Amino acid sequence: MSEFWIYFQIGLKHVLDIHAYDHVLFLIALAIPFSFKDWKRVLLLVTLFTIGHTMALMLSVFEIIVIKVNVVELLIPITILITALFNLFTAGKSNKKESINVVLFITLFFGIIHGLGFSNYFKSILGGDGASKVIPLSEFAMGIEVAQVVVVFMVLILSYIVQTVLRFSKRDWILVMSGFIIGVVIPMIVESEIWIK
């Protein structure tokens, strides 16, 4: 049971690490267009992201996929930028239902990219044969999922407060938050190590 908590906590800390805030930024970008009435859709998106993240870790841990770290480190902020730009261009649009399948697919794909970004560290803490890696991966995925639900729930609470107490329109909330995320992510892209090498 204690081993479960080890990997579960690693999953929690991976998302909630203040120094590695890219994961949280992506979750904020993913959640800001939604409200509490959309909780099923948001939960589906979060779970798809976790599935993609876990798939990437499995493929990497079993050395089916090997990708350069600096490439992934560039792709992660690009996924956040794309999500924020999507929000920026669709804010205030009344009919988003036709684009939900695209958003679901992109969220799964972005989960794979984010998972690859963590794969080298995760491989270093795992040992043993292939079978012994599946259970820790599952425990880690559970920690990721719980942490992501916490982050998204906090975003939905903040969204509710801003829109009801402070009387921001939903469109303005999405525009301001997307602009903020873009402002944080662009320096991450520009300062990526891939441009140095």
Return mean pLDDT, the chain. 86
Q: What is the pTM of this model?
A: 0.88
Looking at per-residue pLDDT, the higher value among 66 and 176 belongs to 176
| Each residue's pLDDT tens digit, 23-41 | 899 999 999 999 989 989 9
> What's the confidence (pLDDT) of residue 119?
80
DSSP 3-state assignment of 21? coil
Say if residues 11 and 151 touch (Cβ distance below 8 Å).
no
| Each residue's pLDDT tens digit, 113-150 | 988 888 877 777 776 555 577 888 888 889 999 999 99
- Asked whether the CA dihedral 33, 36, 40, 42 is positive or negative, the reply is positive
> For the chain, which residues make up each domain, given as ranges?
2-195
- Give the HSE-up count for residue 142: Cα atoms under 13 Å, Cβ half-sphere: 11
